[in-house]
Chains A and B, each alone.
Chain A
Amino acid sequence: MPVTCSSTEITTAEQRRSRGVSVAIRNVSIAFGERTVLENFDIEISAGEFVAIVGRSGCGKSTLLRSVVGLETPQAGSIIVGTLGEHHGKPDVRIMFQDSRLLPWRRILPNVMLGLEAALIPQARKVLVQVGLAERANDWPATLSGGQRQRVALARALVHDPNLLLLDEPLGSLDALTRIEMQQLIEDVWQRRGFTALLVTHDVAEAISLADRVILIEGGRVALDEVVNIPRPRTRGSARFAALEERILGRVLQRRPVVEEPVIENQW
C-alpha cells in the first residue's frame, strides 16, 4: 500500500510533505437505510500524495469524500486527517464539487473571499491570477463559463491554503478541452503548493494523468490499488499510460453484467 516514488520525484515529494497531511480511513462503513455504500473501507494516504478514486456510479466514492470533509457521518470506523506532530493545529480541508457552487449574488472576488477577513484580499487576488481570472474579479458568476466558474471554485479553495484538497468530480461537467486545461491547472497548483489531493472521478485517463495512485472502489471495498509510476508531465499517448489505462479499465469492466446500462463513462 505505501507509495514508492521513482528517484526523480523524491525531492518534490519531500517538499510536498511540508504542507500536505496524511489521511487514514480505517474500517469505515456507511449505509443509507438498507443500502450499504461502503463496508469496512480502508485506505491510507500519505502527506502530499495525489490519490484518485475511480469506480462506477453509485459505488460510494463521492460518499467517501463527503465523509472526509464531514458532510456524511460514517456508522463505523474512523477518518483521521493529519497525525500528531505532522501539522500544527487543525488541518485545513477543502472540497470542490462537480458544480462550482459559487454564490450567484456575490461577485467573483467576494466569492473567493468567502469566510475570510477583508485583510486577505491581496491573497485572494493573487490566487485569481494563478487560475487566470484576475480580470474577472468584479464580474457576477452568471457571466462566467462553466470552466471559469470551476476555476473560481478552485481559487476559493486554494486561498485557504488547504492541507488536503478533496475534488469531487470537479471536471465532470466540462467539455473535453476545458477539462484537459483544468487538469493541467490542478496538477500545476498541486506541484507548487504540495497539499494532499484526493480526486474522485469517472474518468480513468484523468485519474492516471493526475494521480500518484489510483484506487478502484467496487462493492464498497478497495478492488484495486495501483501506483502510477509514470514520470510527470505525463502524456496520454505514451505506451505505459495506455497500458495502465487498459489494465484499470479492464478491471472496472470485468464484473459488469451484460444487461446493465451501456458503458459511457470511460470512453476517452
Chain B
Amino acid sequence: MDKPDSAMKTQLRPRALAQQMLPWVVPISLLIIWQWSSSAGILPSRFLPSPHAVFRSFFELSASGELWAHVRVSALRALSGFVVGGGLGLLLGLFTGSLHWAETLLDTTIQMVRNIPPLALIPLVILWFGIDESAKLFLVALGVFFPVYINTFHGIRSVDRGLLEMGRTYGLSGWPLYREIILPGALPSILVGVRFSLGLMWVILIVAETISARSGIGYMTMNAREFMQTDVMVVGILLYAILGKVADLLAKGLERYWLRWNPAYQTAR
C-alpha cells in the first residue's frame, strides 16, 4: 500500500485486466478446442457442426430473413405470455398479500395448482387449443404466473411493520400508503420473481415450440433435425441462450434502477 503511485499503476492495471479476462478463458478455450477437433475430423459434423459452420449458417439464415421471422414469433410469444401471466401473478399477489380474506379464499387453491408442472398439461392444452398461438400463450402465462405471484405475495407480507406504523402516524392510508411504503417495500421480492419467471418463460416456450409449432425458433430447430442440419439446430439453441441472457440483463437493469437506494444493489455488477 505504501508503494509510490507509478509502481501501483503498473502493478494494478495488468491485474485488473486479468481479472476481467478470467471469466472468458474457459469458454474461449472450449471454442478453440471445438473448432480444432471439427477441422481435424475428430468431431463428425453430423454429430456436432464446427463453430465456423454454425456462424456461416447463422449469417445465411439471417441474410434470408428466415431467422428473424422465427425470432420475432418466439419473442412475441414469450413476451405476451410473460405479460399476461406475470401481470395476473402481480395483481393476484398484491390482492392476496394485502387482504387477509383474499389469502384465505385463494391461497390454498393457488398453492395446489402451483404443484402441477405446466409442461405436464401439454397433452390437454393441445386438445383444448390445438397447436395454435393460444396454446403457447397459455403455457408460458401459466408457468410465469407462479413465481411472480409467490414473490409478490411474500414481498407484501415482509414489508417492514415499523415503516407501515410510521406511515400511518403520518396520515398515510389507502393508495398513498401503497405507493410510498408497501409497493417499494415489496419491490425487491417482486423483481426476484420477475427474474425467475423470465428464465422459466424460455424453458416453457422451447418445449412448447419443439412439440407443436409451425413457426418460431423451436420449430426451426426441430425442422432442421428432419434434414440433419446440425448447424441450424445449434444456431437455434444458441439463440435461446442469447435471448435468455438478454431478458436477464433487462431484469437486472430494472433491479439496478429501481433498487438503487439499496446498498446491496449499488455495487452489484
Question: Which A residues have a C-beta under 8 Å from some C-beta of B?
Answer: 69-71, 94-95, 97, 99, 101, 103-107, 114-115, 140-142, 156
Could you say which residues of chain A place their CB within 8 Å of the CB of B260?
A: 140
A69 near B184: Cβ-Cβ < 8 Å: no
A140 CB to closest chain B CB, in angstroms? 5
In the bound complex, CA of A250 to CA of B72 (Å): 80
B171 near A71: Cβ-Cβ < 8 Å: no
Could you say which residues of chain A place their CB within 8 Å of the CB of B184?
A: 103, 105-106
A140 near B166: Cβ-Cβ < 8 Å: no
Counted as pairs of residues, one from A and one from B, with CB atoms less than 8 Å apart, the total is 45
Cβ of B262 under 8 Å from chain A: yes
Could you say which residues of chain B place their CB within 8 Å of the CB of A141?
A: 261
Closest chain B residue, CB of each to CB of A104 = B261
Interface of A is mostly: loop
Query: Interface size on B (CB < 8 Å)?
Result: 21
Closest chain A residue, CB of each to CB of B263 = A142
Could you say which residues of chain B place their CB within 8 Å of the CB of A140?
A: 260-261
Known contacts: A103-B163, A103-B184. The answer to whether A115 contacts B170 by CB under 8 A is yes
Could you say which residues of chain B place their CB within 8 Å of the CB of A101?
A: 162-163, 165-166
A99 near B162: Cβ-Cβ < 8 Å: yes
Closest chain B residue, CB of each to CB of A140 = B261
In the bound complex, CA of A133 to CA of B46 (Å): 70
Could you say which residues of chain B place their CB within 8 Å of the CB of A71?
A: 165, 168-169
Sample (29) of A-B pairs whose CB atoms are under 8 Å apart: A69-B169, A70-B169, A71-B168, A71-B169, A94-B169, A99-B162, A101-B162, A101-B165, A101-B166, A103-B163, A103-B181, A104-B262, A105-B184, A105-B187, A105-B259, A105-B261, A106-B180, A106-B261, A107-B261, A114-B170, A114-B172, A114-B180, A115-B172, A115-B176, A140-B260, A140-B261, A141-B261, A142-B262, A156-B170
